Structure 1
Amino acid sequence: MAQHAFIVPADLPGPSGGLTYNQRVLAQWRASGLDVEEVAVPGGWPNPSPADRQALAQRLPQHGTVLIDGIIGSAAPEELARAAAAGTEIALLIHLPLPAESGLSPEERQRLAGSERAAVHAAHTIVCTSSWARDDLQARYGLDAVAVAEPGVDAAALAAGSAAPRLLFLGAVTPRKNPLGLLQALGGLTELPWTGVIAGPEGQDPGYAAQVRAAAEALPEGRATVVGAVGGEQLETLWSETDLLVLPSLAETYGMVVTEALARGIPALVGAGTGAQDALCGDAEGSRAGLPTPGDALDPHDPRAWSARLQEFLSNASMRQQWRGAAQAHRARLRTWSHAAQDLRTAIEW
């Protein structure tokens, strides 16, 4: 049995940034020789059944040191507490604080917050993937020590873009990611040349996804296309044709798609006050400090502000070139997955 275990969800619909993060750090650790077992636990996390929780309870004590994805661990505080009392060293990796998800009723938000509060106090170490998440967790639960291990990104070829500027939304089609707000902002800009693509899994909230498809179809034909989840060559083709990433999330821990865009020299327009703004600008004291902002961050609740900024981008070739140049400057200084894996390993003392 491996010295360490990384407990991850087996049934979470994807693709998602959290799943990608887990897989990439695992790959880096194994390449470096770290003895770690991936333990994929089934269940409807973060809303597990009693059987889901029992299965987790049986796995936790089998390892001396455990890193557990927050979508599981934050929903199973009693299981964490029992395993910790029995001698298992537990680190909790939180990609997104559970109550920060959108579309929750007040009762659901309160229940998830209570569960996560108990979980973070049961674990020995808390790690999250952005400064935004750290600040949220500290304020929400009164925590003192929360480590940060930001994601990395792979090197990629520069995007060529398109003749008419191509706007890309890439992420789960959910209220939190807010593609409906984006389409609302674009509705008054049909006299300008542009095309838009909404790409990402639609299974998390089918009702909302249907509203997004209807809003895209209400625009003039060919302006906005909803393509569902993408990967492989289809995703690379989308990236190569993109001129601006648009991510109007209401809440975002980090927004790995932002650095993936920058790796291709693509600027981004993101939600202000979210972790995506950190991904866009970089740490104030990090390798990207002092570089011009490769895009902008706007209030995701204000579609008029988004419409005005998009109108400026679409009608101003000089601005588009300036943002692209800034994105290319950031491209040369982005973190790699080896940096992310080492930061996480340091935080959990593996």
Structure 2
Amino acid sequence: MSTCGDGAGVLEVVMPDDGRPTGGSLYDLRLVAALRGLGRAARTVPVAGSWPHPDAAARARLRAALGEPAPGRTVLLDGLVGCAAPEVVDDAVRCGVPVHVLLHLPLPAETGLGPAEAQELGRREAAALAAATGVVVTSSWAARDLRRRYGTEGAAVAVPGTRPVPVAGGSAPPRLSCVGSLTPLKNQVLLLEALAPLVRLDWTLDLVGAPGPAGYVRTLQEAVEAFPDPARVRRTGPLTGAALEAQWEATDLLVLSSTAETYGMVVAEALAHGIPAVVPAGTGAVEALDGAPDGTGAARDRAGAALDSADPAAWTAVLHEWLTDPALRERWRRRALVRRAGLRTWEDTARDVLAALRPPVPAAGPHAPHTDPPSDTRRL
């Protein structure tokens, strides 16, 4: 448990401790590494629990992790944890602990939820965001989405960064990769529906990610077994480090068919390797693909395509064109290399987060002389 002297001056990123290599947890870890690279004291504080459905013991662990106020101490709380326990967030903030919620994906956006469960998760999330000292999101699209969902104003944006990586060489036949946990949200079954009419063309599909709910894993297994050519489809499990880099090196096209994305870190990772992508329309993944925060990116300059994730026929048509038109493949590849040159780094992300956590300086008025902020806040 934290004490008043424990963690002073440290930025603590409180995150779920469930062992899953998700995009959210990867963001948290890379953010902390980038903060340290900038000279800011930072550390992760993993909290075990069945988030976002914590029991009493998990809530107690979160309460202990948020701890007590200390000079210079700030908490950045992963939304998967914090939005499930708004009363714990509220208590900590009332005690004087600055708690900023980092929202990777709104809780009700997860697929497979019943109406009552989605409504309850939304109620908790709205309460947590209202109680928090501040809110940080991963895209401008996500900030607009929160405003629409909950009326949340002033959410700060800290777009995920990328690291310098080699340009992918690709494969023959072309390799399509879908990188994400095997869950209804990531919607891999749509890819099988879209690719089934294209088995006379040369391609392979890799589904890269950790198994999710048992029911969906069974559904996906049945879809692979029923596929006209199951040998074309490979499930690698989760990949990290050198194994993930080898996967990117062999990939020609990222196919991300999610039903919801606030940004899609995997899209930026693909672009960093010079790999174009097909992403779900109407989601934050389009912002990642185009690099246009206001959603005004020109489709003609896109390093790929944005398609309805509920329309497999649209995916069939675009993938058929990509597989049969070398000129289109080359155009998408060139555009991916252009986007690669302008991608943000994790140091950029860390600077955005630090700016978001800095307390606002009150405007000087005729009866309010200007004063400098305390030295501990300047270190943020």
TM range (shorter): over 0.9
RMSD: 1.8
**1:59-138 equivalences in 2 (<5 Å):** 59-64=65-70, 65-138=74-147
Percent identity, aligned pairs only? 45
Find the aligned partners of 1:223 and 1:42 in 2 and give their Cα distance.
38
Partners of 1:4 and 1:63 within 8 A in 2: no
Find the aligned partners of 1:83 and 1:70 in 2 and give their Cα distance.
15
* Of 60-69 and 117-126, the range deviating more from structure 2: 60-69
TM-score by length of 2: 0.88
Which of 231, 235, 244 is matched with 2:253 structurally? 244
Aligned to 1:193: 202
Query: Match of 1:118, SS?
Result: helix
Aligned to 2:55: 49
Query: Match of 1:62, SS?
Result: coil
CA drift of 1:228 comes to: 1.3
Query: Match of 1:161, SS?
Result: coil
**1:162-173 equivalences in 2 (<5 Å):** 162-173=171-182
Partners of 2:253 and 2:277 within 8 A in 1: yes
CA drift of 1:244 comes to: 0.5
Find the aligned partners of 2:20 and 2:65 in 1 and give their Cα distance.
24
Partners of 1:262 and 1:327 within 8 A in 2: yes
Which of 154, 157, 160 is matched with 1:151 structurally? 160
Query: Match of 1:46, SS?
Result: coil
Partners of 1:11 and 1:44 within 8 A in 2: no
Residue 66 of structure 2 aligns to which amino acid in structure 1?
L
Aligned to 2:17: 11
Residue 55 of structure 1 aligns to which amino acid in structure 2?
R
Residue 169 of structure 2 aligns to which amino acid in structure 1?
A
Residue 61 of structure 1 aligns to which amino acid in structure 2?
G
CA drift of 1:154 comes to: 0.9
Query: Match of 1:187, SS?
Result: helix
Partners of 2:139 and 2:293 within 8 A in 1: no
Find the aligned partners of 2:202 and 2:151 in 1 and give their Cα distance.
49
Query: Match of 1:269, SS?
Result: strand
Which of 203, 206, 220 is matched with 1:212 structurally? 220
- The count of residues paired between Structure 1 and Structure 2 equals 348
Find the aligned partners of 2:64 and 2:175 in 1 and give their Cα distance.
50
Partners of 1:291 and 1:330 within 8 A in 2: no
Which of 272, 277, 281 is matched with 2:286 structurally? 277
CA drift of 1:223 comes to: 1.1
CA drift of 1:217 comes to: 3.1
CA drift of 1:138 comes to: 0.8
Find the aligned partners of 2:173 and 2:45 in 1 and give their Cα distance.
46
CA drift of 1:14 comes to: 2.1
Find the aligned partners of 1:75 and 1:284 in 2 and give their Cα distance.
28
Find the aligned partners of 2:273 and 2:285 in 1 and give their Cα distance.
17
CA drift of 1:304 comes to: 0.5
Partners of 1:9 and 1:43 within 8 A in 2: no
4+ residue segments displaced more than 6 Å: 288-291
Find the aligned partners of 2:315 and 2:299 in 1 and give their Cα distance.
25
Query: Match of 1:248, SS?
Result: coil
CA drift of 1:290 comes to: 10
Find the aligned partners of 1:337 and 1:36 in 2 and give their Cα distance.
14
Partners of 1:216 and 1:226 within 8 A in 2: no
Find the aligned partners of 1:8 and 1:83 in 2 and give their Cα distance.
13
Partners of 2:14 and 2:77 within 8 A in 1: yes
Partners of 2:38 and 2:347 within 8 A in 1: no
Which of 294, 298, 302 is matched with 2:303 structurally? 294
Find the aligned partners of 1:258 and 1:167 in 2 and give their Cα distance.
13
Partners of 1:282 and 1:289 within 8 A in 2: no
CA drift of 1:82 comes to: 1.1
